[in-house]
Structure 1
Amino acid sequence: MLFSRRSSDNETVVAMLASAIRRDISFGVLCPDEKLKIEALRQRYGGSNHSMRETLRMLVAEGMVEATNQRGFRVTSATEDDLADILMMRLEVEKLALERAIAHGGVDWEAQIVAAHHQMMRAENQLNQAPDDATALGWDEACRGYIMALVSACGSPRLIEMTGRFYDQSRRFRLARLREGRIDFDARRDRQEALKAAVMERDTKRALRLLEEDTQADLSG
């Protein structure tokens, strides 16, 4: 039990560190290609050498951080080519997952989508009323929750995991567009309502088209 408790405590610390560093990468506090030194990160975020290394390995697996010659770490680059590649992967994975979810999802799945959509719209209203880093992050998390709800009935844990991973990798591009005032919330709201309706009607072709349009508009429209 003692070893189990220590393992559980370490996992909690790593999860908290990963959340903080992931957030700062997403907001550009930690810049693309910036070197990540263990001691400097510990002074900034806390944790031990071991927990920080575990955190960085987790973020490497997510694609947020890169290992450099197995001797150090840096923030993953964020070029236009990176964005194009991430967008391509997001669309391939999300469309496959959504297609399967529409085919297999039941009433509980539909209820989950309605609830996640409501939460996303509420977060969007809070962001528009009081735009700051906290409401921006809350909105982005709610948008992620909606995507994850859409694909949750796909029947493949790996597809669901990949959906979350590529969403996370695209997050900093999306938040950058938000900071620059390049997201049209009225148009986005219309697309999301149409996407929800298409999913509920099990109109797969229309749902996939709307998902693609919305993802492209959020990241590169």
Structure 2
Amino acid sequence: MKKIVCIIILMFSLVAYSQEVNKLFAEGNTFYKEENYTRAVGVYLAIEEQGMESDDLYFNIANCYYKMNKVAPAIYYYEKALKVNPANADAKANLAFAKRMTIDVIEELPKTFLQRFSANIIQKLPFDTWAIMAVIASFLASLLFLLYYFSTSSTKKLFYFNTSIFAVFIMIVTVFFAYNNFKTVQKDRVAIIFSPKVEIMNAPSASSDEIFELHEGTKVIVLDKLDNWKKIKIADGKTGWIYADALKEI
């Protein structure tokens, strides 16, 4: 009986929480329509602080910062929206506009065929979406195999056998894509430079030599960390050390 009561209380709490979040989101949208971007972003950030993760929420936060000409947080939240949902076309388009506000012009290294395939196919969907597709394919494969096993018609047996093999193939591919996507997300610690200008050093020390400098809004990959320093890599392959407070990981 106590378990049932706890479940009911939990359900009512979740419903109340959802209603509160929806109310705040609508309030933020109202402020945004009134072009009161400071208050709008405050409401959206309050939702984020409650543990809400949504590409729509991050997209709206990014739009507010973009309207306020704050390039680093705008790019940061567009990237967060795309991390949650790589297929968000609006976030991708607005990110391209936001990047035009940055100072640094960095030429990317040429990508290999496998890197292009990963970026254009595997990374287009979140790893949990690929995992769901794998589960569906495994269910279909099992169902088709049972239909093959119990079918008495040779024509139907051939059809069910071939389609079950195809479903198994799809399952294997989607499992591989889900694993590859997950490993890529875990490995690539992406961050955005928040300092207006920051020197990149050749060693994690203030007395080391400066090798180049970066400006706010630039996207980097975090490779390592030592005390208050982080080793980063930029799109053209250059690496160096930066104060940890100068950037924010996505």
| Superposition TM-score, scaled by structure 2 size | 0.25
Please identify the structure whose Cα radius of gyration is greater.
2
* TM-score, with length taken from structure 1: 0.27
Q: Which has the higher strand share?
A: 2
Structure with higher RCO (Cα < 8 A, 6+ apart): 1
